[in-house]
Structure formats: structure tokens, C-alpha cells
Structure 1
Amino acid sequence: MIGRRSPSQQRGKDEPEKPFWISFADLMTALMVLFLVVMAIALLAVTRTVSELEKREAEYRADIDNCMILAVEAAKRHEGVRVDLRRNVIDFGDRARFAFNSSLLSPEQEGVLRRFVPELLSMADSDSCKRVMKRIIVEGHTDKTGSYLANLNLSLMRSQRVLCAMFKTDGPNPLTDAQKAQVRDVFLVGGFAFSASKDTPEESRRVEMRIEFLGIDEKRVKPPQGATGGFGTCAI
């Protein structure tokens, strides 16, 4: 009859609505997808961090290499001066050797140092060196003759004598006040007894300049202000 509902329609209306329940398989699938997304994000972050660290390390090494290249080029312009790249050391050879039990430099030796040091200062002011160079340590050495403390004191006097040559106002090739201020800020004196001796006593009585670099994450410490008395002079 027209307008009469079929039994099937009647039953569909009378049945209560069933709640929607996600199946266990669907739940596990969703959790797995979420896990994979989280892992992908974490791996991407780790990869990016590693890549940035590798990039920083590569730039750090490149700056050190470029800085040492400048040191080598400077040494080539001065007879008898060489650079030990393994130790980052500038060796003056017989151009800055000392007599037995002496810390005095001849006027000629002082002239050699005053001609070379401005090139080191220019090197230190280059972009590469400014990013990674910490300081230049002037290291005095002795031969094996004498006691440890006596030789240690002598080696310190020899390294100090190199700085004295930089601050002298007389003699050839004097440094400008600006260069002296840079020497004060960049150079540091140090000494060794016979722990770093060479093959012969004559070779051991020497002075070297070691270039020291910052660590990759080390922050540069601002140098202290100069003394109010100016640069001063060294006693003979």
C-alpha cells in the first residue's frame, strides 16, 4: 500500500544508534605514524646539529691553516727564520741565539726581530687570525748546563729580552706606539729550561715564538688595560 513503511525501514529506525569505536588496528596504525613523524623530526634536528658542528669545525680549521700560511709567507721574507707547522712555532735559528749563560741580544739580532714582528702583527690583524688566534708566546730556551731553576730563570730573561727589543726607542726599525700596544696585547713571555733542548748546546740557546689558538668554543678574553706608566724600559 502506498505510504506504508516496509519492515526493513521500520527495523532501521527502531534500532538504537551504535557509537563509533576506532578499531585496534587503526589505533596502532595512527600511533605508528605519529611515532615515525616524531622520529623524523628528531633525526632532522640531530642531523642539522651535526652538520652545523662539522661546518664550524671546518671553518675553524681553515682559519688556523690560513693564519699559519701567513706566518710561513712572512718567514720566507726573512733569511734564517722558519715555521714549524707541527708545533705552530716560529724558529729564528741563529738569528736569535744567545751566548752561554747570557740573555743579551746583539743589535743585529734585535734588528732582525724588529723587522719580523710587525709582519706578525699584521698577520694577527688578518680576518682569519682574529677569529682563532689567542696569543703569541715568546719562549726562551737554554742548554743542559746548570740547574733547573737557574736555567728556567735564564730562559725567562731571554724571552723578556725579546720583548725589550720591541719596546726600545733607539736602534734600527723601531716599532710605532700602535705596534707596541699590539705587542703588549698579543705577546706573552714564557720560558723552558733544558726540557726542550735541541741537538747541540748552541742550538738550544735560542728563542722561539709559538702561536696559540683559541679552542673552537673558547671565548676571547679582552686584554687588560696598559699600565699608567706607559711601556717602560728594560734594564741592561
Structure 2
Amino acid sequence: MSRPTRNREPSHEDSSHWISFSDLMSALLLVFLLAVVLLVLSLTYKQQELVAQQAEAQEAESLFATQRDRLETQVATLSEREEIRSALVREISTELKGRGIAVEISEDAAVLHIPTSALGFDSGSYEIHDAHRGVALTIGTVISETVRQDRRFEALDTVFVEGHTDSEAFSGLEGTGNWGLSTFRAISLWRLWEEELPPRTALTALLREDGQPVFSVSGYADSRPVEISQASEQQMAANRRIDIRFTVKGPTADELADIVDGSIGASAAGSDS
């Protein structure tokens, strides 16, 4: 006859084992949740950092594009002014030649060469003789009318009336030598224009945006000869001349520096991002 079976009570050892396993699972779950939270935070931070970098890159690209556009505008403006200068110098030359006055222009159409045959400067002299005054006034009139047309003088910075001499040493004008002689040749032509050109063609009335005169006078002695060899009187006479040099307004050093600094800053910002 068999004995009745009793339900076995769980031992203390079994209960402890079950509790330890539950604690372990809870701990693992907690670790997993913490890992998930850290991963989410890390991804969020990376996303924010990426968004910030993209914003910086876009800002740098926009700044660089702005600086590039400014530079392109400066170049386009300067190119346009140079084209205006070339056109008016060629027009002056063509008009004077049509009136029987022989002049030449430089290869870049920036300088008008007026030979001594037109103004009659004797060696060692800065006087414009009566026989040449009419030609000198015609030159001034044509220059004035041409630069005034469509207010093209506004594209110019300065028009230099430059005097030149041959290589023969000059001892007059209180020891200023050929430098003084060349300058006085330019002054003689300018004074003739100033005194005898009618108000409608007066070159002295042409002013730049800053209120300064467009025309200026200078002398270069024999430092810029058109004939290097001066063995003959004809070669020496070719160097006794007046040059009319037309310069155009360009960007200032500060404007260019501002563009360069902006471009460097944009490039650095783009590299960092």
C-alpha cells in the first residue's frame, strides 16, 4: 500500500535563485534602456551638429558667392570704363587726323601722342609759337567735345597732359633742367586751353565725383623717349612732344582688400565645416 504524495514546498535555495534571476533581468533591461537613451542622445547631438555645420557651410557659400559677385562687378565696371577710354581716344585721333593734325595713339589706346610738328617746340623751348596756336586749340576743342559726349569723362580718373624733352641737357628754369622744361611745355599747352577755349569746351570745368579736376599736368624730361636713339635732329624732335594720358577709375585698395578678406573668411569657414 502506497503512501499519500505531498506537494513539495519550494526550498529557500530555489526562491533565492529565482529572485537573483529576476534582478539580473531587471538590471539588463535597465542597462539596455540606458544604452538606448544614450544612443538617442548621441544621435540627436550628431544631428544638431550636422545641421549647424550645414548652416555654416551654406552661410560660407553665400558669403563667397557675394564676394565673387562683387569682384565680378568690379571687373565688369573696369572693363567697361577701359572700353569707353579706348573708344574716345580713337575718336579723338580720327577726328584730329581728319582735320590734318597728325597724332598717334598707344597700342592700348590709352595715350594720345602729339608730336612737336603739331606744337612746334624748339629744342630748349617751352613756348607754343603763334603759328601753332590754332592747332593747339583745335586739339583741346576736340578732346573736350569727345570726352563730354555722353559724359564719358565720368568713366575717367585723371587725364594727364604730359610734357617730354629730347636728351639734350637743358640748364635753364633755375636749374630744374629737362624736368622743368618738360613740365613747362605741358603748362604752356594747358594755359593756352585754359585762357582761350570757350566756356562750353573749357577743360577746367570737368570735375570728378570727388570734386577734383579731371585734367592734370606733369613733366617727364627725357625719361620716356619714343625714339631711343637720338642721333639725328628728326629723332630728337620726335621726343619733344606732349602726351595726353587717359586713366580710368578702378577699385580702390580698400575695396579690393575687403573683397579678398571676405573671400578668405568664406573659404576658411567652408574648410572648417
Fold shared per TM-score above 0.5: yes
In structure 1, the residue matched to 2:73 is 55
C-alpha distance in 2 between matches for 1:179 and 1:143: 31
C-alpha distance in 2 between matches for 1:143 and 1:204: 5
C-alpha distance in 2 between matches for 1:86 and 1:39: 43
In structure 2, the residue matched to 1:207 is 242
Q: Which moved more, 1:138-147 or 1:111-120?
A: 111-120
In structure 2, the residue matched to 1:45 is 63
* Residues 1-236 of structure 1 mapped to structure 2, 5 A cutoff: 22-79=40-97, 80-86=102-108, 88-93=110-115, 94-126=117-149, 129-146=152-169, 149-169=176-196, 175-180=197-202, 181-182=204-205, 185-199=213-227, 200-217=235-252
In structure 1, the residue matched to 2:11 is none
Q: Deviations over 1:121-178 (max 9, x none)?
A: 2343355734431221111111111158311111111111101221344xxxxx2134
Alpha carbons of structure 1 residues 58 and 97: separation in structure 2 relative to 1, 3 Å:
farther
Between structure 1 and structure 2, the one with the greater Rg is 2
C-alpha distance in 1 between matches for 2:206 and 2:163: 17
TM-score scaled by structure 1?
0.72
C-alpha distance in 1 between matches for 2:106 and 2:226: 14
Alpha carbons of structure 1 residues 183 and 205: separation in structure 2 relative to 1, 3 Å:
farther
Deviation at 1:192, TM superposition (A): 1.2
Alpha carbons of structure 1 residues 96 and 60: separation in structure 2 relative to 1, 3 Å:
same
Residue type of the alignment partner of 2:112: I
Residue type of the alignment partner of 1:33: V
Q: In the alignment, is the contact (CA less than 8 A) between 1:124 and 1:133 conserved in 2?
A: no
Deviation at 1:53, TM superposition (A): 1.8
RMSD: 2.9
Between the aligned residues of both structures, percent identity stands at 18
C-alpha distance in 2 between matches for 1:211 and 1:54: 23
Q: In the alignment, is the contact (CA less than 8 A) between 2:124 and 2:170 conserved in 1?
A: no
C-alpha distance in 2 between matches for 1:109 and 1:178: 22
Q: In the alignment, is the contact (CA less than 8 A) between 1:72 and 1:82 conserved in 2?
A: no
Q: In the alignment, is the contact (CA less than 8 A) between 1:97 and 1:207 conserved in 2?
A: no
Alpha carbons of structure 1 residues 183 and 97: separation in structure 2 relative to 1, 3 Å:
farther
SS where residue 125 of structure 1 aligns? helix
C-alpha distance in 2 between matches for 1:54 and 1:155: 40
Q: In the alignment, is the contact (CA less than 8 A) between 1:92 and 1:207 conserved in 2?
A: yes
- More helix, by proportion: 2
Deviation at 1:87, TM superposition (A): 7.2
The structure, 1 or 2, with the larger RCO (C-alpha pairs under 8 Å, 6+ apart) is 2
- Equivalent pairs counted in the alignment come to 199
Deviation at 1:47, TM superposition (A): 1.0
SS where residue 223 of structure 2 aligns? helix
Give the unaligned 5+ runs of structure 2. Answer: 1-32, 208-212, 228-234, 255-273
TM-score scaled by structure 2?
0.63
Q: Deviations over 1:199-229 (max 9, x none)?
A: 221111111111122332389xxxxxxxxxx
Q: In the alignment, is the contact (CA less than 8 A) between 2:165 and 2:178 conserved in 1?
A: yes
Q: In the alignment, is the contact (CA less than 8 A) between 1:97 and 1:203 conserved in 2?
A: no
Runs of 4+ off more than 4 Å: 18-21
Give the unaligned 5+ runs of structure 1. Answer: 1-17, 170-174, 220-236
C-alpha distance in 2 between matches for 1:108 and 1:210: 25
